[in-house]
Structure 1
Amino acid sequence: YAAAKKAGIKPIIGVEAYVAPRGMTDKEGKQDADYHHMILLARNDVGYRNLLALTTASHLDGYYYKPRIDKELLARHAEGLIGTSACLGGEVLKRLGQGDEAGALKAADEYRSILGDGNFFIEVQEHGIDDQRRLHPQLVELARRNNLPLVATNDTHYTSPDQYEAH
């Protein structure tokens, strides 16, 4: 962080969180092995502290195949955070992919309610994946009809190609 600031770069501190469909402490077989991706970014110092609280709880209390949070915990630590709907593994796109437009809208509204107006974004990505191309028109239309801001991103998990193997 300090090195980035010194170099004149504004660092964006965030995490790809895994949201448990039920509660984060539910750990029963395959039904709780599933999770939804979500991107959380710190807007300020309060948001940074909330990211720390969420990631700590996900590892200590929510770990089941992956470190998970749930919407209840997110609501308790939402101040200072921005969230996005993430990739094809995010709840909104998963539901659209299942043909559940009402469920996708419900999920987006829940996240908007938790994070506050203007702090939840519908995320679009283009990686040449057929499902992305098929679902993007529906995703953009869902955002447009429901006054949800859009953000274009890339599903980046490392800074250079030689780090692929470690990822």
Structure 2
Amino acid sequence: MNRSPYVDLHTHTAYTHNNGLSTVSALVERAVSYNMDALAITDSGNVSGVPEFYGACIHSGIKPIMGLGFYFADDSRFSKSTRKYHLVLLAENSIGFMHLLALAERSFTEGFYKRPRIDFELLDMFHDGLICLTGGLGGVVDNYLYAQRKSDAVDFVQKCLSLFGDDHFFLELQDNGLKKNQEMIAELIKLSKETGAQCVVSGGSFYVDRKDALECNELRKAHGNNPLIGEGYYFKSPEEMSSLFSMVPHAVQASRAIADRCTVVLDADKCGKISRYDNDLSIIRQLQGCITQQ
């Protein structure tokens, strides 16, 4: 398989409960058709899709990149705030995956209010081996910028740079066909120049094909979730992403560079025995027993 110039580091599958439509098999199959040699899974709030995703990727000759779209509390995980922000973390190595699972477990056992949440205190404890992306329009930075809270966005970025380092923290650029995407891309590029934080391009898909947009929104609305605007949250090809972000080719290339750095090897037999029907916390704890030393 040829090395694709772009690797999608932010995808939602059907394991993003009642929000995502993409099946793992369809997503991996499409990645193969795109000649992608690596792919990330970053479902919101849980890693329950990781066992199936890992097996499907290995079977298809694709490097699996394990991640999670965390819900982030910008004050404290113990607060009763209903604010909902996203923060994407990718496991760079076995230590990173161990820390990803530790954060996931704590998000349920300590930070659960409406949804499982983490905060800066937990990130300070478990950031080694993790690469942080800002999460797109649902992320803290984009929300601060859109609300014209520029100083808060700068403070958040500087805090993340101090914690993760400038080679493990990236401002995430997405284009799902919204005017808001274009506004945020421009603002994030400015923020990158001001803070020194690097940019990376990601997809943020919730379904595989554009034609699946209606079905995905019907699923979301049936469970009381907000519909996605437009039909742009499909799984895009490297060629399309390179075209959409031709003005920042370095941000496209950053996705490739990050993918090359992320290598986590799991015990495939143990991983394959984890039932998709177990609850999220049980799957987290079973995955902890699947980590092998690299």
What TM-score results when the alignment is normalised by the length of structure 1?
0.89
Which residue is equivalent to 1:109? 158
CA deviation map 1:35-79 (0-9, x unaligned): 321110000000101110111111111111111000110110000
Q: How far 1:87 moved relative to its partner?
A: 1.5
CA distance in 2, matches of 1:103, 1:82: 21
Q: How far 1:116 moved relative to its partner?
A: 2.0
CA distance in 1, matches of 2:195, 2:56: 40
Which residue is equivalent to 2:187? 138
Cα 1:131/1:149, change in 2 over 3 Å: same
2:63 equivalent to 1:10: yes
CA distance in 2, matches of 1:157, 1:53: 26
Question: Whose relative contact order is higher, 1 or 2, with alpha carbons under 8 Å and at least 6 apart?
Answer: 2
Q: Is the 8 A contact 1:95 1:101 kept in 2?
A: yes
2:85 equivalent to 1:41: no
Q: How far 1:91 moved relative to its partner?
A: 0.9
Q: How far 1:159 moved relative to its partner?
A: 5.0
CA distance in 2, matches of 1:7, 1:43: 21
Q: How far 1:4 moved relative to its partner?
A: 2.0
CA distance in 2, matches of 1:135, 1:92: 10
Which residue is equivalent to 2:274? none
Which residue is equivalent to 1:22? 75
Q: Is the 8 A contact 2:137 2:181 kept in 1?
A: yes
- Aligned to 1:114, the other structure's residue is in SS state helix
Which residue is equivalent to 1:93? 142
Choose from 16, 31, 51 the match for 2:100.
Answer: 51
Q: Is the 8 A contact 1:19 1:69 kept in 2?
A: yes
- Aligned to 2:103, the other structure's residue is in SS state helix
CA distance in 2, matches of 1:139, 1:3: 34
CA distance in 2, matches of 1:103, 1:127: 25
CA distance in 1, matches of 2:94, 2:123: 16
What TM-score results when the alignment is normalised by the length of structure 2?
0.52
Q: How far 1:86 moved relative to its partner?
A: 0.9
* Structure 2 counterpart of 1:84, one-letter code: L
Which residue is equivalent to 1:119? 168
Q: How far 1:166 moved relative to its partner?
A: 5.5
- Aligned to 2:65, the other structure's residue is in SS state coil
The answer for unaligned runs of 5 or more in structure 2 is 1-53, 221-294
Q: How far 1:6 moved relative to its partner?
A: 4.2
The answer for unaligned runs of 5 or more in structure 1 is none
**% same residue:** 33
* Structure 2 counterpart of 1:22, one-letter code: D
Q: Is the 8 A contact 1:21 1:35 kept in 2?
A: no
